[in-house]
Amino acid sequence: VTARVPDRDTYRHGDLRRALVDAGIDLARTGGPTAVVLREATRRVGVSPNAAYRHFVDRAALLGAVCDAAQAALARAIEDEQERVRTSRGGAARGRFLAVGTGYIRFARTEPGLFRAAFSVPANLDGRSAPARAGRRGLTPFQLLSAALDDLVQAGDLPAARRRDAEFLAWGAVHGLATLLVDGPLRGLGADDASRLADRMTVMVADGL
């Protein structure tokens, strides 16, 4: 409620669009997608509410940009996890596949607001490969999963006959557990119990596919 002094030195903002998206990401981090309020984002940037309309046609457009950024953050979390297990026991391909799931769930638990935001805009299948949703290696979360599954087949850990649509089974399984842990009845679980469940889930998927 304190007056905010616009902290910019030029009349033109420089990169207001980016600043608004960053503010939106902060809001989402704290309160999920519904907290991405256009007026609050402009307030934080130190700009009048309608200035946002120079850069976004809509509040929905701002939320869409935040959603993309959240997906990219998820991709990076998966990449982090994959690098962490590079020294893998039981086959590199399998390790990389398991890491997709555990990284996914770790992200959901450490950044619940962003996780919710990442799935707040009902995605069409086109979004699977949107560059704005990609991580460091240029792949979206979905593409990271696909690649891991391909590797699994190539390593002989997954019969090629079962490869088709395997993304959706693996994704669904892991995503469901993530939502139970973030918004569902498993909300209160400690980090250890949660990651134990995450491990069991990814193994179950790898074995059951």
Partner DNA sequence: TGTACATCAGTGAACGCGCGTTCACTGATGTAC
Residue numbers at the binding site for DNA (CB under 7 A): 6, 10-14, 16, 37-40, 46-55, 58-60
Residue 193 has, within 13 A of its CA and on its CB side, a CA count of: 6
85 binds, among a copy of itself, DNA, none (CB under 5 to 8 A by kind): none
Question: Whole-angstrom Cα distance, residue 74 to residue 184?
Answer: 20
**Nearer to DNA by C-beta: 43 or 175?**
43
CA nearest to 167, candidates 128, 116, 118:
128
Question: Whole-angstrom Cα distance, residue 70 to residue 140?
Answer: 11
- Of 17, 44, 128, 163, the one binding a copy of itself (CB under 8 A) is 128
Q: How far is the CB of 63 from a copy of itself (least distance, A)?
A: 15
**Nearer to a copy of itself by C-beta: 53 or 168?**
168
117 counts as binding a copy of itself under rule CB under 8 A: no
Longest CA pairwise span in the chain (Å): 63
180 binds, among a copy of itself, DNA, none (CB under 5 to 8 A by kind): a copy of itself
User: Segment near a copy of itself (CB under 8 A), from 76-84, 86-94, 106-114, 120-128?
Assistant: 120-128
Size of the site for a copy of itself (CB under 8 A): 36
Token digits for 188? 């209160």
Q: Hey, what amino acid is at 129? A: S
- The burial of 8, by beta-carbon neighbours within 10 Å (0-12 exposed, 13-18 middle, 19 or more buried), is given as middle
What is the C-alpha R_g of the chain? 19
195 counts as binding a copy of itself under rule CB under 8 A: no
- Chain residues binding a copy of itself by CB under 8 A are 119, 122-125, 127-128, 165, 168-169, 171-180, 183-188, 197, 200-201, 203-209
